[in-house]
């Protein structure tokens, strides 16, 4: 029970990697609130794990602020914020429209700033660190291998994920003195509904061959790494961008 007594807010927790995180955290004793635009799926999962679901479109700043506060209130406070929601869009660099760029950045990065502002305000009000290194709260963000390695045909996505890594590092520096850590995960290829519409068997074979381990990721691979970052086991890690990419990226 590595999260016994912890209150965790997970964005994008209705399906895919986020749903695996919700189940993993709940199995380790956490009380979990799911923020997602998929109200029905989020509600079902919340009922399954005895948690809470809040419907929100994370592209909407005011709604995101209110939904994060509702989630924190439902849990009676917050110990860990997991910013996992994200969207993937494909377009050649020369064809990306400003509104497409803005859409990806609004969900993938700006929403993280907004949820972090609300959740960290609550963490700070709950308790001050009693000694240097006393961790009173954690923020875990989902970036991507693309944030380090780029990605042809998805420049807006890759740039947004590099921004997540930058946001995480700045947050780590600024929030560390308050006893709050900030880390992010950089998953490689994970078999979820994201990208499923364009993914072929040939793609899966080609991508698998890029991993020394010879396979793609499963949502549970990322959820187990998130559990480490959400738990006290990682209290001396902050500012890190941890790859969960089967060795495809190692920097
Ligand atoms: N699948 C991969 O290969 C992969 C690789 C690297 C990083 N990631 C990242 O992992 C995270 C989870 O991705 P996934 O593969 O589980 O994808 P997914 O599409 O299955 O799940 C994404 C979740 O975010 C929610 N979401 C999206 N836009 C939202 C919005 N505007 N408001 C509220 N909720 C919203 C969705 O409803 C969904 O529940 C994302 O940040 C993604 O960029 C995924």
Write out pLDDT tens, residues 176-229: 999 999 999 999 999 999 999 999 999 999 999 999 999 999 999 999 999 999
Pocket of ligand 1 contains residue 46 by CB under 6 Å: no
- Please state the domain extents for the chain: 7-244
**Best CA proximity match to 72, nearest among 32, 19, 45, 20:** 32
pLDDT in tens, 31-89: 999 999 999 999 999 999 999 999 999 999 999 999 999 999 999 999 999 999 999 99
Distance 104 CA to ligand 1 centre (A): 11
Q: In what order do the strands lie in the sheet with 80-83?
A: 52-55, 31-36, 7-11, 80-83, 137-142, 180-187, 241-244
Tell me the pLDDT tens digit for each residue of 21-43. 999 999 999 999 999 999 999 99
Active-site residue identified among 23, 30, 118, 157: 157
Mean local confidence (pLDDT), 223-248: 98
How far CA 199 is from CA of 17, 189, 203, 221, in Å, comes to 17, 11, 6, 20
Residue 186 near ligand 1, beta carbon < 6 Å: no
189 given a catalytic annotation: no
From the CB of 144, is ligand 1 less than 6 Å away?
yes
71 lines ligand 1 (CB under 6 A): no
Cα-based distances in Å from 218 to 150, 157, 209 = 21, 20, 16
Given a contact cutoff of 8 angstroms between Cβ atoms, the answer to whether 229 and 24 are in contact is no
If you measure from the C-alpha of residue 12 to the centroid of ligand 1, how many angstroms do you get, rounded to a whole number? 6
Per-residue pLDDT, 233:
98
pLDDT given for residue 28 in this prediction: 98
Residue 143 CA, closest ligand 1 atom number: 7
- For the chain, what is the mean pLDDT? 98
* pLDDT at residue number 245: 98
Cα 195 to ligand 1 centroid, rounded to whole Å: 10
CATH class of 7-244: alpha beta
CA dihedral 181→50→142→57, nearest 10 degrees, is: -110
Question: pLDDT at position 52, please?
Answer: 98
User: In residues, how long is the chain?
Assistant: 251
* Residue 36 CB less than 6 A away from ligand 1: yes
Indicate the top mutation candidate among 18, 43, 141 to test ligand 1's pocket, ranked by most ligand atoms within 8 A of CB: 18
**pLDDT of the residue at 56:** 99
**What is the atom index within ligand 1 of the atom nearest the CA of 12?**
24
Structure tokens, 120: 């960290």
The per-residue pLDDT for 128 is: 96
């Amino acid at each position: 029970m590595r999260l016994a007594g912890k209150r965790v807010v997970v964005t994008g927790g209705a399906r895919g990697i986020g749903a695996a995180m919700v189940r993993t955290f709940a199995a380790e004793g956490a009380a979990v609130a799911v923020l997602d635009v998929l109200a029905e799926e989020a509600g079902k999962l919340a009922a399954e794990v005895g948690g809470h679901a809040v419907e929100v479109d994370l592209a909407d700043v005011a709604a995101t602020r209110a939904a994060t506060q509702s989630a924190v209130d439902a849990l009676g406070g917050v110990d860990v914020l997991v910013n996992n929601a994200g969207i993937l869009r494909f377009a050649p660099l020369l064809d990306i429209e400003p509104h497409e760029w803005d859409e990806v950045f609004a969900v993938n990065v700006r929403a993280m700033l907004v949820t972090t502002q609300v959740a960290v305000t609550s963490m700070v009000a709950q308790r001050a660190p009693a000694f240097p290194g006393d961790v009173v709260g954690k923020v875990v963000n989902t970036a991507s291998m693309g944030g380090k390695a780029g990605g042809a045909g998805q420049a807006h996505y890759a740039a947004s994920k590099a921004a997540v890594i930058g946001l995480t590092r700045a947050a780590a520096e600024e929030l560390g003195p308050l006893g709050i850590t900030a880390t992010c995960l950089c998953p490689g290829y994970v078999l979820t509904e994201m990208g499923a519409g364009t993914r072929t068997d040939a793609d899966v074979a080609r991508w698998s061959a890029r991993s020394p381990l010879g396979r793609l990721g499963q949502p549970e691979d990322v959820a187990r790494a998130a559990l480490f970052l959400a738990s006290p086991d990682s209290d001396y890690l902050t500012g890190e961008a941890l790859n969960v990419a089967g060795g495809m990226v190692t920097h």
